[in-house]
Amino acid sequence: MSIKHVHEYRDGELARQITGAIKKIATHDMRLMEVCGTHTMSIFRHGIRSVLPRQITLLSGPGCPVCVTSQRDIDCFIALASFENTIVTTFGDLMRVPGTVSSLQQEKAKGCDVRIVYSVFDAVEIAAQNPDREVVFCAVGFETTTPTVAASILMADQRHISNFSIHSAHKTTPAALGALMETPGVKIDGFLLPGHVSVITGTSGYKEVFERYRVPSVIAGFEPVDILTAVLMLARQYESKAPALENAYARAVAEEGNMKAKEIMARVFEPCDATWRGIGVIPQSGMALKPAFSSFDALGRFDLKVVDSGEPKGCACGEILMGLRTPESCPLYKRSCTPAHPVGPCMVSSEGSCAAFYRYQG
């Protein structure tokens, strides 16, 4: 099957054929996790859950960059905004995420200089235009965004912009898959792997974790036919007891990934231990600035005094990110936690599973 044009990715008849094939193959209960917030939203938007056989349960995993950011990192972003003569720059999704006592949006309302940017390069330009002020970028995200942030560091270094820094909360995807497989109570029969992260990592980025755990794994694009095709491939693997690492997004993902992006990322960042919301510390799953670029590390510039307060009481975001619970089973869902008054990040982010459930399932 060759798909080259957009309308083919949304072809209703083709989607029905694939769905029919899934129903014929799926005879056992299986829990498939989409490891990407964009997949979660696409699955809801196109009603994919409703056409799959009851044997297949889709779980939303730790693929939303805002949702997996630890409470301590959120508190650090908020604390940075309180420093005098500082401009904090961020993507819009982080603005309303509640910290322990405040949010970036609330700090802005108090008079702190917090600005939404659409690219980290905008933050570099703000620094260039305000040489007498410190400009900090809240750096969250996976392999998709880390190379761009690395490029911004190289740009600032080349232009001798010394008032620009980042607080890195970057994370890498394959390490999280391994951590999930070793978490007691977690049951995952297949991974729907993220398309845009895989553009950078390539299929090869998952080989080590696949060889270790032998869980059916398929890289998928984001259109309905892409996702259904990947589900069909996962069902075939699971039913035949022949786990494999396959690529259903070959039009965008190569075996080796984007070598240039990986080179830039490796030039600026190095692996470090990182704390994931709900999962805890995963060794070597974060990205810290290399010593050669430590002058761009906000933690080295500011005297931050942030206490690790833990996650909001009663919030189940962590368990939801691991597939241990669904948003509807959280006691706060649609009660004290709503899009207007979110308690946890999964209700805030445009890629959060709670926000998706609330928007599409009511």
Among the ranges given (165-174, 239-248, 349-358), the one the predictor scored with the smallest mean pLDDT: 349-358
Q: What confidence tens digit (pLDDT) does each residue in 176-204 have?
A: 999 999 999 999 999 999 999 999 999 99
CA distance readout (Å), 40 to 76, 120, 138, 278, 350:
28, 25, 24, 19, 10
Q: What confidence tens digit (pLDDT) does each residue in 273-319 have?
A: 999 998 899 999 999 999 999 999 999 999 998 888 888 889 999 99
Q: What is the separation, in whole angstroms, between the first and last Cα of the chain?
A: 36
**How many C-beta atoms surround the C-beta of residue 321 within 10 A?**
28
Residues of the chain with CATH 3.40.50.11740: 9-307
pTM above threshold 0.85: yes
Nearest of 91, 41, 90 to residue 63 by alpha carbon = 41
CATH number for region 9-307:
3.40.50.11740
List CB contacts of 104: < 8 A, sequence separation 6 or more.
77, 78, 81, 88, 90, 94, 95, 96, 97, 114, 138
CB 307 within 8 A of CB 175: no
Tokens read off for 153: 């560091």
